Structure 1
Amino acid sequence: MINVVRTQIAAAITTAITAGLALVAAAPVQATPGLSPYVAMGDSYSAGSGIIPLDPTVTPVCARTTRNYPNLVAKSLGLASFTDVTCGDADTSHFYQKQWPSLTPQLDAVTADTKLVTLTIGGNNNDTLIKVISACISAGSATVGLGNPCEEIYGTRFVDDILNKTFPDVKKALTDIRAKAPSAKVAIVGYPQVMPADNTNCFLTMPIAKGDVPYINNIQGTLNSVVKRAADETGATFVDMSSSVGHDACKPIGTRWVEPAVWGLNFVPIHPNATGMQKMADQVLAAIR
Structure 2
Amino acid sequence: MRTACVVAAALLMSVLPTSAAPANPEKIPTVFLGDASIGGYGIAPVDQGALLCVRAAENLPDVIEDQLADQSILLDITADVSCAGAALHHVWEEQDLGGGMTAAPQKRALTKETRLVVAGLGAGTVGLGQILKQCSARLRGTEGAHLPDRPVDAASPAARCRAYFSTGAGAAWLEARFERTGKDLDKLFSEIGSEAPSAKTVLVGYPRLVPADRTLCRAPLPGGGGGPLGDVPEEAWAFLDEKVQAPLNALMAAKSKRSGAHFVDLYASTGASTACDGTDRAVGGLLEPSQVTLLHQTLPWFLRSNETGRDGNGDAVAQSIAAMYGHGPA
Please, what TM-score do these two structures have when normalized by structure 2?
0.70
Partners in 1 of 2:25 and 2:208 — Cα distance? 30
Residues 162 and 222 of structure 1 are in contact (CA less than 8 Å); yes or no, is this contact kept in structure 2?
no
What corresponds to 2:44 in structure 1? 52
Partners in 2 of 1:95 and 1:181 — Cα distance? 13
Tell me whether 1:152 sits opposite 2:148 in the alignment: no
How far is 1:287 from its partner?
A: 1.1
Partners in 2 of 1:225 and 1:165 — Cα distance? 15
Bigger strand share: 2
Partners in 1 of 2:305 and 2:192 — Cα distance? 25
Partners in 2 of 1:133 and 1:274 — Cα distance? 22
Secondary structure class of the residue paired with 1:233: helix
Q: 1:140 to 1:183 in 2, by over 3 A?
A: closer
Spell out, residue by residue over 1:120-141, the C-alpha distance to the aligned partner (whole angstroms, 9 max, x if none).
1010114x22331232122999
Task: Map 1:5-84 to 2 at 5 A.
Answer: 33=26, 36-58=28-50, 60-76=51-67, 77=69, 78-84=74-80
Residues 111 and 195 of structure 2 are in contact (CA less than 8 Å); yes or no, is this contact kept in structure 1?
yes
Partners in 1 of 2:312 and 2:93 — Cα distance? 30
What corresponds to 1:91 in structure 2? 87
One-letter amino acid matched to 1:89? G
Partners in 2 of 1:284 and 1:110 — Cα distance? 20
Spell out, residue by residue over 1:207-227, the C-alpha distance to the aligned partner (whole angstroms, 9 max, x if none).
222211111102111111111
One-letter amino acid matched to 1:92? L
Give structure 1 regions of 4+ aligned residues with deviation exceeding 6 angstroms: none
Report the identity percentage: 27
Gaps (5+ residues) in structure 2?
A: 1-22, 141-157, 221-225, 292-298, 323-330
One-letter amino acid matched to 1:209? P
Residues 275 and 281 of structure 2 are in contact (CA less than 8 Å); yes or no, is this contact kept in structure 1?
yes
Spell out, residue by residue over 1:43-84, the C-alpha distance to the aligned partner (whole angstroms, 9 max, x if none).
1111111111111222x1210002211122123334334310
One-letter amino acid matched to 1:38? T
Partners in 2 of 1:264 and 1:69 — Cα distance? 20
Partners in 2 of 1:102 and 1:168 — Cα distance? 24
Partners in 1 of 2:80 and 2:265 — Cα distance? 21
What corresponds to 1:132 in structure 2? 131
Residues 74 and 82 of structure 1 are in contact (CA less than 8 Å); yes or no, is this contact kept in structure 2?
no
One-letter amino acid matched to 2:65? A
Partners in 1 of 2:265 and 2:177 — Cα distance? 18
Q: 1:64 to 1:228 in 2, by over 3 A?
A: same
What corresponds to 1:213 in structure 2? 237
How far is 1:161 from its partner?
A: 2.8
Q: What RMSD over aligned residues (CA atoms) do the two structures have, in Å?
A: 2.4
How far is 1:196 from its partner?
A: 1.9
What corresponds to 1:174 in structure 2? 189
Residues 202 and 263 of structure 2 are in contact (CA less than 8 Å); yes or no, is this contact kept in structure 1?
yes
Spell out, residue by residue over 1:92-130, the C-alpha distance to the aligned partner (whole angstroms, 9 max, x if none).
12111221445321001011110111111010114x223
Aligned residues between the structures? 251
What corresponds to 1:19 in structure 2? none
Task: Map 1:188-227 to 2 at 5 A.
Answer: 188-200=203-215, 201-202=217-218, 204-205=226-227, 206=229, 207-218=231-242, 219-227=244-252
How far is 1:162 from its partner?
A: 4.1
Spell out, residue by residue over 1:241-278, the C-alpha distance to the aligned partner (whole angstroms, 9 max, x if none).
1111021111213x111000233444342100011111
Tell me whether 1:271 sits opposite 2:297 in the alignment: no
One-letter amino acid matched to 2:286? A
Residues 162 and 226 of structure 1 are in contact (CA less than 8 Å); yes or no, is this contact kept in structure 2?
no
One-letter amino acid matched to 1:121? L
One-letter amino acid matched to 1:41? L
Gaps (5+ residues) in structure 1?
A: 1-29, 142-146
Partners in 1 of 2:238 and 2:159 — Cα distance? 9
Please, what TM-score do these two structures have when normalized by structure 1?
0.79
Partners in 2 of 1:280 and 1:129 — Cα distance? 20
Partners in 1 of 2:270 and 2:40 — Cα distance? 16
Tell me whether 1:237 sits opposite 2:262 in the alignment: yes
What corresponds to 2:272 in structure 1? 246
